[in-house]
Amino acid sequence: MAGIKALVGLSFSGAIGLTFLLLSCALDQYGVYWPFFVLIFYVLCPIPHFIARRVSDDGDSGSNACRELAYFLTSGIVVSAFGLPIVLAHVYVIQWGACGLVLAGNTVIFLTILGFFLVFGGGDDFSWEQW
């Protein structure tokens, strides 16, 4: 039952983050859809972790080069997702209000992705693969 509550909570927070992103594009005073390009970063974010988990065989060793590379690539993707709306607002492609909404949406979405990996990413008997 706890897994269902976590799944519902993560779904709700993901919907809130996507609502922020949608508001940054669809409100009349903003009216441009350039901020939707951060969706690419949402899709790319978990891919290095999945590849590193698939490639590395040792379970809980202290440091693993493949895992460290995955953390580095994931952090680069997250920083890029926060940097893109700031650059777009700096060159006046989007307004600063839309940039703020995208940054709020990014924060909620990436915390949701982190929560997903913390709740369902463990190697115990309760994992996301059962869903």
- Give 82: exposed, middle or buried? Use CB within 10 Å, 0-12, 13-18, 19+: middle
Lowest mean per-residue pLDDT among 7-21, 56-70, 117-131: 117-131
- Output the average pLDDT for the chain: 89
What integer pLDDT is reported at residue 3 of this predicted model? 82
Beta-carbon count within 10 A of 92 CB: 8
What integer pLDDT is reported at residue 120 of this predicted model? 83
Span 17-50, pLDDT tens digits: 999 999 999 999 998 999 999 999 999 999 999 8
Q: Say whether pLDDT at 121 is over 80.
A: no
What integer pLDDT is reported at residue 88 of this predicted model? 97
Mean pLDDT (whole number) for 75-93: 97
Q: Say whether pLDDT at 65 is over 60.
A: yes
E strand or H helix that includes residue 127: none
The CA distance from 39 to 45, in Å, is: 10
| Confidence band of 107 (pLDDT split at 50, 70, 90) | very high
Percent of the chain with pLDDT over 90: 71
Annotated domain spans of the chain: 2-130
